Amino acid sequence: DVKVTQSSRYLVKRTGEKVFLECVQDMDHENMFWYRQDPGLGLRLIYFSYDVKMKEKGDIPEGYSVSREKKERFSLILESASTNQTSMYLCASSLPGDQPQHFGDGTRLSIL
Amino acid sequence: AQSVTQLGSHVSVSEGALVLLRCNYSSSVPPYLFWYVQYPNQGLQLLLKYTSAATLVKGINGFEAEFKKSETSFHLTKPSAHMSDAAEYFCAAALTDDKIIFGKGTRLHILP
């Protein structure tokens, strides 16, 4: 079974802090994705990556950056956290093509 | 525009009754379709996927979905609801650039 592991289930940070959310997958998937999930808005794509050291902006990249130094690890960075970034963050990975994505359990991030 | 639409943000059924969750996709979306389930405070789990091998797709936990091209629909059904089916369900479609577009989700409530 594919395992996507997100480093924290719950995280509380303060406004202005730099925040790192880590995601690791163990199935050698090329593609990795970061979403945020908010009530009534569904899943919105922040960034994605098709390979090591490459990244593509999703629908809502503002205020975020990513890093993919190794194939199995995809990090989401909040450069200067703001209260409107309080949300559930979901990481996913997939093989290329019309393949389903496999999700981690999510990180519920609160910015105070 | 490419879109996936789920009818009804909340659906309530009695335990033992038929579950029907509706999903329609825009005709511009390639017909690679999925249903995911999300239990509270967890990530998304793949229920089933349509791969064009058969129009009726069986998934986990007794769910199935029927692909109807003429209606651009991919509704999810289960003959008899169980309390453990209470969750949020997402219909999704794979796009040509390896991304997935999600519906807004339907929260299923099971009444005792």
DSSP-assigned letters across all residues of B29-45: S-S-EEEEEE-TTS-EE
- Cβ contacts of A96 on chain B, cutoff 8 Å: 98
> Is B11 in the A-facing interface, judged by CB distances under 8 Å?
no
φ, ψ of residue A85 to 5 degrees: the values are -100, 5
User: Alpha helix locations (H) across chain B?
Assistant: none
Read off the pLDDT of residues A52-105 as tens digits, 9 standing for 90 and up.
989 999 999 999 999 999 999 999 999 999 999 999 999 999 999 888 899 999
pLDDT at A2 over 70: no
pLDDT-above-90 percentage for chain B: 74
**Test the A interface: residue of B5, B37, B74, B100 with most A CBs within 10 Å:** B100
Percent helix, strand and coil across chain A, each rounded to 5? Answer: 5, 55, 45
φ, ψ of residue B52 to 5 degrees: the values are 75, 0
pLDDT at B84 over 70: yes
* Contact between chains at A103 and B103 (C-beta distance less than 8 A): no
Nearest chain A residue (CA) to B40: A105
What pLDDT is recorded for position B30?
Answer: 67
pLDDT (average), residues B34-44: 93
User: What's the Cα-to-Cα distance from B96 to each of B5, B28, B71, B100, rounded to whole Å?
Assistant: 19, 11, 22, 9
* Contact between chains at B43 and A100 (C-beta distance less than 8 A): no
What distance in Å separates residue B98's CA from the closest CA in chain A? Answer: 5
* Contact between chains at B94 and A98 (C-beta distance less than 8 A): yes
What distance in Å separates residue B94's CA from the closest CA in chain A? Answer: 6
Say which residue, A14 or A100, is predicted with more confidence: A14
Read off the pLDDT of residues A20-46 as tens digits, 9 standing for 90 and up.
999 999 999 999 999 999 988 889 999
What pLDDT is recorded for position B99?
Answer: 87
pLDDT (average), residues B24-37: 85
Q: Which of B61, B68, B74, B62 is nearest to B33 (CA)?
A: B74
* Contact between chains at A96 and B98 (C-beta distance less than 8 A): yes
